[in-house]
């Protein structure tokens, strides 16, 4: 158990080296601290710890506990218990992967699940066999409440959480949209960026239309849902090239254009906004999405 706790602690340190907020917001400065091979190895380690430590330890613990308390059962009860234990001890021994004095086991999740189902069925078939007369405790209750939960259950839950966390990071690092975020959308041109924004709003539940490349009055995408019409500008700018209040003014004029009649405007950029742009937008029905907020929405709808 000490080696299990040591390995689990190492995995926890790795999984918690990046916050949930950084994962959810596609913070690739943080995500890049992991490489794909290490993530795959950590995922495998979480599963292997359960296969080699938790499952065989839990099964062996039940077998030992019942054998050590044989005197508490009647001869008839033991005649029912003993074949069950022998069957699963044999199944457990077949998972031994070496011939050392202290054998190593590898119990697949499927075998452990079968063990639990068999234990449940045995307990239901023999309700007269109880391990605690005060609590009317069946053998399945003994195992789950006295052996598994206090000694192994918390560790299993922790390993599942860590595995899911590593899987999420790995998925983000290999997701094509996440790669766009990581590289500040360098792989696509401004027109493809407009298509991406249209796709984003489709995923948000809007019906969208990318406008013509000319005569669009600065509006790149129209998004509608219910009675709401949003005029969207998509500004694929390099970092430091901030959107100014001139674009906000242009958006205000475009919103009233007869073909749009938008009741809201959104300007989205891969950079940021000047103070003047922020001040003018705050006085009008216009939202400003900078690179940080765009990345957050990408993480939410493309993960």
pLDDT tens-digit series, residues 269-282: 999 999 999 999 99
Run of H or E residues at 11: helix 2-15
Tokens of 234: 């998509």
CB 146 within 8 A of CB 152: no
pLDDT band at 17 (very low <50, low <70, confident <90, very high): low
CB 159 within 8 A of CB 46: yes
Strand, coil or helix: 266: strand
Domain with CATH 3.40.1350.10 in the chain: 187-302
Higher pLDDT, 269 or 137: 269
Average confidence score pLDDT of the chain? 86
CB 13 within 8 A of CB 143: no
Overall average pLDDT of the 99-111 stretch: 82
Dihedral sign for Cα 217, 223, 228, 234, please. Answer: negative
- Range in 3-7, 160-164, 183-187, 281-285 with the lowest mean pLDDT: 3-7
- Range in 40-44, 48-52, 169-173, 190-194 with the lowest mean pLDDT: 169-173
Tokens of 231: 């005029």
Please give the class, per CATH, of domain 187-302: alpha beta
pLDDT band at 7 (very low <50, low <70, confident <90, very high): low
Q: Is the pLDDT of residue 97 over 70?
A: yes
| Sequence-ordered list of residues with C-beta below 8 angstroms from that of 204, at least 6 positions apart, any chain | 223, 297, 301
Q: What is the pLDDT of residue 24?
A: 67
Cα 71 to Cα 65, 76, 116, 170: the distances in Å are 12, 12, 24, 52
Q: Is the pLDDT of residue 167 over 60?
A: yes
Task: Classify burial at 189, counting beta carbons within 10 Å of its beta carbon; exposed 0-12, middle 13-18, buried 19 or more.
Answer: exposed
pLDDT band at 25 (very low <50, low <70, confident <90, very high): low
């Amino acid at each position: 158990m000490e080696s299990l706790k040591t390995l689990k602690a190492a995995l926890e340190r790795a999984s918690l080296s990046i916050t949930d907020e950084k994962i959810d917001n596609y913070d690739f400065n943080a995500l890049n601290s992991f490489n794909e091979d290490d993530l795959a190895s950590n995922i495998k380690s979480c599963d292997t710890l359960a296969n080699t430590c938790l499952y065989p330890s839990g099964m062996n613990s039940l077998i030992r506990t019942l054998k050590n308390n044989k005197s508490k059962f009647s001869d008839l009860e033991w005649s029912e218990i003993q074949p069950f234990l022998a069957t699963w001890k044999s199944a457990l021994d077949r998972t031994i992967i070496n011939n050392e004095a202290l054998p190593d086991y590898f119990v697949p999740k499927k075998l452990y699940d079968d063990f639990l189902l068999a234990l449940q069925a045995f307990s239901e078939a023999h309700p007269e066999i109880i391990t605690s007369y005060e609590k009317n405790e069946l053998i399945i209750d003994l195992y789950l409440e006295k052996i598994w939960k206090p000694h192994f259950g918390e560790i299993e839950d922790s390993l599942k959480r860590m595995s899911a966390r590593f899987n999420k990071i790995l998925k983000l690092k290999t997701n094509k949209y996440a790669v766009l975020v990581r590289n500040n959308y360098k792989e696509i041109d401004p027109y493809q960026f407009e298509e991406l924004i249209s796709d984003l709003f489709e995923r948000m539940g809007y019906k969208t239309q990318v406008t013509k490349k000319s005569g669009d009055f600065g509006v790149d995408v129209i998004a509608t849902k219910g009675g709401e019409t949003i005029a969207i500008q998509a500004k694929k700018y390099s970092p430091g090239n901030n959107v100014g209040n001139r674009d906000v003014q242009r958006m205000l004029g475009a919103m009233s254009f007869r073909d749009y009649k938008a009741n809201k405007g959104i300007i989205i950029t891969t950079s940021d906004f000047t103070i003047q742009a922020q001040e003018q937008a705050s006085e009008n029905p216009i939202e400003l999405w900078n690179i940080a907020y765009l990345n957050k929405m990408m993480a939410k709808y493309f993960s």
